[in-house]
Amino acid sequence: MSQFYMVIDVAKCHDCNNCFMACKDEFVGNDWPGYTAAQPRHGQRWMNIQRRERGQYNRNDVAFLAMPCQHCENAPCEKAGNGAVNRRADGIVMIDAEKARGNETLAQSCPYGAIFYNEEIQCAQKCTGCAHLLDSAEWTPRQPRCSHTCPTGAMQFLNIEPAEMAKKIQDEGLQAYRAELGTKPRVLYKNLQKFTKHFIAAGVLVKGDCFENATVTLKGAGVEATQKTNCFGDFKFDGLGDGVYTLEVDAAGKKASCEVTLQGDAKNLGYIQL
């Protein structure tokens, strides 16, 4: 049976918040019987955007991680719900509002912070994947409001067989956020390293001028990679984890090397002068 999945490309998200506003538009003030009660105007972000700045001026960047409910196959909330949480045949995880009433622990069970407790109705709430729209023959886009309104194509909502999805994961290098939790989420990310990993960047100068096509080699922490500097003499090794690295530069026979330690952030080494 085909299943619903969402693929989010971190490289394409520029924090426009269209997905966040579309979610608010669909659920604030609107009860969807059988699916969810209305979302409060304030205090809940069923589509949250996390932000991370990496590096230091003037070689730094910002990445944005769109974070809806992950609709996990091994969902901690399902265990905490005591029968109030169920996973539909298509993979969407739902909260039964009546069965969940008064269970504040349910809202605290999500390791992604994607479940919220509505004090007014005494019930946990979260992203439903716009299941009420997916179940409606009148909603021809056949996708949630968030992905439907994304202007950059950063969000892809898929309805495919698990075997086909497994191949897509392999071919496109898709990853789960915080995979170590073992929750097996149905929301997967492309270019996740831009949010979770680090980079080492610098510029190469020879006699004070930018040097193009210098050979730069990085070794360490299980990594060995080589690249050429661009026309500004710059290079950038991305997707790196914490660890100690050796950097070697060869600019037409002029050489330099240094050791770089990454711990929790990217590194701008400034200019390497030869």
Q: Which domain holds residue 207?
A: 197-273
214 in the same domain as 125? no
Q: CATH code at 95? A: 3.30.70.20
Q: What is the pLDDT of residue 232?
A: 97
Long-range Cβ contacts of 113-122 (<8 Å, 24+ apart): 113/48, 113/67, 114/46, 114/48, 114/67, 114/68, 114/69, 114/70, 115/69, 115/77, 116/43, 116/44, 116/45, 116/46, 118/37, 118/40, 118/44, 120/40, 121/37, 121/97
pLDDT of amino acid 200:
98
- Within this chain, do residues 41 and 130 fall inside the same structural domain, yes or no? yes
User: Does 252 lie in the same domain as 186?
Assistant: no
In this prediction, residues 20-47 reach a mean pLDDT of 97
Backbone angles phi, psi at 265, to 5 degrees: -160, 165
If you average pLDDT over residues 58-76, what whole number do you get? 97
- pLDDT attached to residue 93: 98
185 and 205, same domain (yes or no): no
- Statement to judge: residues 204 and 139 lie in one domain: no
Question: What pLDDT digit, counting tens, does each position of 255-271 carry?
Answer: 999 999 999 999 999 99
Decide if pLDDT at 1 tops 90: no
Question: Which of 175, 194, 213 finishes a domain?
Answer: 194
**Number of domains, the chain:** 2
229 with 127, same domain: the answer is no
What is the reported pTM?
Answer: 0.93
| Same domain, yes or no: 18 and 91 | yes
Both 201 and 173 in one domain: the answer is no
CB-CB contact of 78 with 105 (8 Å): no
Q: What is the mean pLDDT of residues 157-177?
A: 97
Indicate if 88 and 215 belong to the same structural domain.
Answer: no
Q: Tell me, what's the pLDDT at 116?
A: 97
Whether residue 118 sits in one domain with residue 54 = yes
Which of 166, 194, 222 finishes a domain?
Answer: 194
Q: Which of 191, 156, 159 is nearest to 64 (CA)?
A: 191
pLDDT > 70 in the chain, percent:
100
CATH classification at residue 263: 2.60.40.10
Query: Mind listing the pLDDT tens digit for each residue in 69-107?
Result: 999 999 999 999 999 999 999 999 999 999 999 999 999
Residue 30 sits in the same domain as residue 143: yes
Domain end call among 173, 194, 215: 194
Q: What is the pLDDT of residues 172-192, one digit of tens each?
A: 999 999 999 999 999 999 999
Q: Is residue 56 located within the same domain as residue 161?
A: yes
